[in-house]
Structure 1
Amino acid sequence: MRKIKLLGLIFISLAMVLWFNLHSSTPSIPTVASSPPKTIRYFERTLPQSIAHILLIPANSKFLVTPALSQKVSTVKEFAQKHQAVAILNAGFFDPINQKTTSYVVIQRKLVADPKENDRLVNNPDLKSYLSQILNRAEFRRYSCGKTLRYDIVLHNASQPVGCQLVDAISAGPSLLPELTLAKEGFVDNATKRDALGSNQPNARTAVGITRDGSIILVMVAQKPSAPTNSGISLPALADFMKTLGADKAMNLDGGSSSSLYYNGKTFYGKVDSEGNSIKRPVKSVLLVQEN
């Protein structure tokens, strides 16, 4: 009996020591595995009248988003092959007749495309009263700020931040976020009923956005082949959609038949013809996504 009591006391003592150690000792520091490298995320969203193809390029990742220009218009797939890019999105406006740019393009601190050199733009009497606005539209910029890379969306005439140098830029417009600036950028004139982009009508559209943490969002909204004359997205709806994706700033890019996105070996086109077939129009300029 005495042995049984002794064993019981020993068991209780051991249990109390174990309980004390578990509840009073300093918690161990968990081992944190190395985070996987930040990479591009592609996903689709089905909208009421369209299908959105979305690329998210995380901030501080190994990927850069930069413009590229072709002397002759090219498809996004051809741009991707030439530049060995992971992804390509059509970007600036151009005149399909003379194939000259109507958007500014700056690459590696050099102006490589100037809309003021496009005679069909600057000498068009119908656009004379809007020309100053056309030449000061929204543009997507990349800055070098010391050792820091920074993206922004501002009007073309905006000054660069103190301590930063403009490396790349491409203009298009209008700005979608923080506000939709159709009239300010000369796309809409309510007095004359001008609406250069059919802003309130559904159409294939493309856009670029920047989140609060500096991530880049590339979006191409495609029409539905089953509804070629009544599908796509309006510009106000596109602005709202970019906001739902987390963009603080966003701007519209060339849309309609130019809408096209290349990613990971596959090409998506936005505009369809009357029979629902994809329209594959070559473009003048694009945004490249490449490894840094």
Structure 2
Amino acid sequence: MRKIGLLGLTLVTLGTWFSLRSSPPYISSALPTIKPSPPKTIQYLERILPQGIAHILLIPANSRFVVTGALSAKANTVEEFAQKRKAIAILNAGFFDPANQKSTSYVVVAGQLVADPKDNERLVNNPQLKPYLAQIFNRTEFRRYQCGQTIRYSIALHNESAPADCQLVDAIGAGPRLLPELTLVQEGFVDNALVRDALGSNQLNARTAVGITRDGSIILVMVTQKPSQPNNSGISLLQLADLMKILGASEAMNLDGGSSSSLYYLGKTFYGKVDLQGNLIKRPVKSVLLVQEK
């Protein structure tokens, strides 16, 4: 990842100073200084990017809010998840197969494995994916641990063990990892030898991501396309990694994007993908990240 020089702007959020670094050309001056927010409260930010709009939620560390996972037996929109879960915010999360509505990502809820990609026959029996199954079954996931009386979040590969004295409570897989480095090849999304790029990583698209700051705050991001430019708007994965770094994340991972990109916050829903006529696509999703009060 290229180094980014210091910029004379500072983003003040969550009672923590996140130093803004000089933005790549696609972000330019789209992230102006914002006023300090009261500590321990969720902050919603909307930032206009040259090729899209970034909807950002900042959830402070050690607050009354917790980020958990949820899975639906049948795919639902984030609005439908909100009606059932009564969450403050909901972000689409893991990958799934729209044809059979089975998850292609691991999901753990309340300490129980509720979705296993190895149970998805369309995934495991796909001859084109067989060379990548070991990598697919060990992709990045967002985790919540209970460590004594403390909640900890991390981004880890599926096969990684929980830290000592910590119990895994929730986990939702997707990938690839964005920070501290982009791991497209390692997680089987890209095969340079075969010119395979499952996510169109260099293309502009609606994208979704979750990040963790050094103090343990959570950053949820959903970047929308422009209705006026349905074929050439959004953000690439490299640009998304840069954006997460600018926002203060030390760890970050990509979530299911494209038509799945959707964010609900306090009664309002934002969808990321548009069709060729510029209309928003409201696609049901299989798993989500919930922001709820403890």
Q: Give the TM-score, by structure 1 length.
A: 0.87
Shift in Å at residue 218 of structure 1? Answer: 0.3
Structural RMSD (CA)? 0.9
Shift in Å at residue 74 of structure 1? Answer: 0.1
Q: Deviations over 1:189-230 (max 9, x none)?
A: 000000000000000000000000000000000001111110
The partner residue of 1:192 within 170, 191, 194 is 194
The partner residue of 2:81 within 75, 79, 82 is 79
Cα distance in structure 2, aligned partners of 1:282 and 1:215? 28
The partner residue of 2:90 within 88, 91, 95 is 88
Structure (1 or 2) with the greater strand fraction: 2
Query: Which 4+ stretches in 1 moved above 2 angstroms?
Result: none
Find the counterpart in structure 2 of residue 252 from structure 1: 254
Shift in Å at residue 38 of structure 1? Answer: 1.3
Q: Note closer, same or farther for the CA distance 1:36–1:179 as it changes in structure 2 (3 Å cut).
A: closer
The partner residue of 1:42 within 44, 69, 72 is 44
Find the counterpart in structure 2 of residue 112 from structure 1: 114
Cα distance in structure 2, aligned partners of 1:168 and 1:64? 11
In the alignment, residue 238 of structure 1 is paired with which amino acid? L
Find the counterpart in structure 2 of residue 58 from structure 1: 60
Structure (1 or 2) with the greater helix fraction: 1
* Equivalent position SS for 2:134: helix
Q: Deviations over 1:18-38 (max 9, x none)?
A: xxxxxxxxxxxxxxxxx9661
Find the counterpart in structure 2 of residue 25 from structure 1: none
* Equivalent position SS for 2:103: coil
In the alignment, residue 70 of structure 2 is paired with which amino acid? A
Q: Percent identity?
A: 78
Q: Note closer, same or farther for the CA distance 1:46–1:37 as it changes in structure 2 (3 Å cut).
A: closer
* Equivalent position SS for 1:126: coil
* Equivalent position SS for 1:80: helix
In the alignment, residue 195 of structure 1 is paired with which amino acid? D
Cα distance in structure 2, aligned partners of 1:229 and 1:171? 28
Structure possessing the higher radius of gyration over alpha carbons:
1
Cα distance in structure 2, aligned partners of 1:64 and 1:74? 22
In the alignment, residue 176 of structure 1 is paired with which amino acid? L
Number of residue pairs the alignment of both structures matches: 258
In structure 2, the gaps of 5 or more residues are: 1-36
Cα distance in structure 2, aligned partners of 1:261 and 1:174? 20
Find the counterpart in structure 1 of residue 69 from structure 2: 67
In structure 1, the gaps of 5 or more residues are: 1-34
Find the counterpart in structure 1 of residue 30 from structure 2: none
Cα distance in structure 2, aligned partners of 1:254 and 1:268? 15
The partner residue of 2:264 within 258, 262, 271 is 262
Q: Give the TM-score, by structure 2 length.
A: 0.87
